[in-house]
Amino acid sequence: MNNLDQIFVLTQHWLAALAPGPIQSLVSMLLAIAGLMAVFGSCFALTTILERKILGRMQNRFGPNRVGPFGLLQPLADGIKMLTKEDIVPYSADQALHFLAPLALTIPVWLAFAVLPFGRNMNAIELDCGILFFFAIGSASELAVFMAGWSSQNKYSLLGAMRAIAQMLSYEVPLVLASVPALMAAGSLSLPDVVQSQSGYALGLVPRWNVFTPWGLAAFILFLIAAAAESNRCPFDLPEGESELIAGFLTEYSGFKYALFFLGEYFGLFAVTGLAVTLFLGGWQAPAKWLEWLPSWGWFAAKFSALILLFIWARATLPRLRFDQLLNFAWKFLLPLALINVLVAALWWKLPAAMEIRWLLCAVLLAVPYAWLGRSWRGAIPEQRQYHYVE
């Protein structure tokens, strides 16, 4: 049983041992990279087709169903299309920046996968400040968006890029603040430690995941909202909305570069979803003792898929936020709630562990600011219009 759980780690060690001595660590690292890219690459292909099918079904239509059984070979068709499209670069565009922008977006996003623990002992790098690395790398990809928008020398692209950067910057603050209570609970910035701090079962039944505490639930919801905004995902996809700015900062990109941007956006979503699973849903741990026969990476994959489905569901259901509504939401609603959440989490740890009082107090301390802030920023509700016809 343990062998199935550690099968990827054992395979990596076995293959690395086949290599000559001095370059064994290099080979081991390359194997980890290859494995991650293979798994998440196929996850990307699966997510594109799954998203289109699920969106289609939620909108009462079929998704793509021509290519392959139930349309499952659609990613292959998409890939061939993207690779064979003509790569048009505008004449007055800044050639070097136009070329480098897709690379500058995807490389930091791929780097972020290095610190996520996908299973027991299954993180590619052991870093003492893993989550700081994650957020630092994530913030480095915002410059790439600017490079893309500005190098196209196109007013719409530049506007889209400015909006995208403002949105990503604004939502980075609630994202980091929402992850702080989970780090406080673990007492460490290292992600395997965060997963370890959520081990064990309270009352023998309920796992000690962070999402099952009031501050954890609030932080989880805040994190998911901020994560959707960080990866330009509906309902926050104004920078790339088709009816708004053509394609925003992606207007002048075609062919493989567009595919790279698309890839970068989805991989960013995967990375931040993996982080949400690690911080709040207990990482690779099983929800009940009798379910531990499923390997740890299987549980990670299950929770990860559930969150991705949640994001797809949100995309199908919610309308797009207008830009000023978006920024107001981040700075005037999410940020105060995230700060109050940090205080409530600190209070939770200071109170004695008499369960009922802690839960009630913290839940009340979170619900009251939420209701109050929500009411004060709701804005005017338009009344039902009365139409008077001329008789």
Of residues 205 and 381, the one with the C-beta less far from other proteins: 381
Selected from 29, 58, 72, 169, the binder of other proteins by CB under 8 A is 169
Selected from 40, 118, 146, 280, the binder of other proteins by CB under 8 A is 146
Per-position DSSP letters for 246-274, written without gaps between them: TTGGGTT--THHHHHHHHHHHHHHHHHHH
Site mask for other proteins (CB under 8 A), range 58-97, x = bound: ---------------------------------------x
Interaction between residue 159 and other proteins (CB under 8 A): no
For the bound state, the minimum distance from the C-beta of residue 124 to other proteins, rounded and expressed in Å, comes to 16
For the bound state, the minimum distance from the C-beta of residue 35 to other proteins, rounded and expressed in Å, comes to 24
53 contacts 283 by C-beta, under 8 angstroms: no
Q: Give exposure, 196-220, as e/b (b: 16+ Cβ within 10 Å).
A: ebbeeeeeeeebbbbbbbbbbbbbb
Spatial CA neighbour of 100 closest among 141, 58, 156: 141
145 contacts 206 by C-beta, under 8 angstroms: no
For the bound state, the minimum distance from the C-beta of residue 315 to other proteins, rounded and expressed in Å, comes to 27
For the bound state, the minimum distance from the C-beta of residue 20 to other proteins, rounded and expressed in Å, comes to 18
- SS3 state at 361: helix
Interaction between residue 375 and other proteins (CB under 8 A): no
348 contacts 213 by C-beta, under 8 angstroms: yes
Selected from 143, 302, 310, 339, the binder of other proteins by CB under 8 A is 143
Selected from 93, 147, 312, 334, the binder of other proteins by CB under 8 A is 147
For the bound state, the minimum distance from the C-beta of residue 378 to other proteins, rounded and expressed in Å, comes to 8
> Site size for other proteins, by CB under 8 A?
37
Place of tokens 């990482």: 283
Spatial CA neighbour of 203 closest among 353, 348, 303, 344: 353
Stretch that binds other proteins, among 81-89, 129-137, 224-232, 295-303 (CB under 8 A): 129-137
For the bound state, the minimum distance from the C-beta of residue 16 to other proteins, rounded and expressed in Å, comes to 22
For the bound state, the minimum distance from the C-beta of residue 23 to other proteins, rounded and expressed in Å, comes to 14
Instruction: Determine the residue type at 323.
Output: F
Q: Residue 207's beta-bridge partner residues?
A: 201
DSSP 93: S
- For other proteins, the binding residues in 179-218 under the rule CB under 8 A are 187-190
189 contacts 132 by C-beta, under 8 angstroms: yes
Stretch that binds other proteins, among 136-144, 222-230, 290-298, 314-322 (CB under 8 A): 136-144
How far is Cα 44 from Cα 263, in angstroms, rounded to an integer?
7
Residue 314 token pair: 């949100």
For the chain, the distance separating the N- and C-terminal CA atoms, rounded to the nearest angstrom, is 81
300 contacts 216 by C-beta, under 8 angstroms: no
Of residues 193 and 292, the one with the C-beta less far from other proteins: 193
Interaction between residue 382 and other proteins (CB under 8 A): yes
Spatial CA neighbour of 329 closest among 143, 104, 167, 212: 167
Selected from 49, 137, 211, 225, the binder of other proteins by CB under 8 A is 137
Please give the residue ranges that form the binding site for other proteins (CB under 8 A): 97, 127-129, 132-133, 135-140, 142-143, 146-147, 150, 158, 162, 165, 169, 172, 187-190, 379-383, 385-390
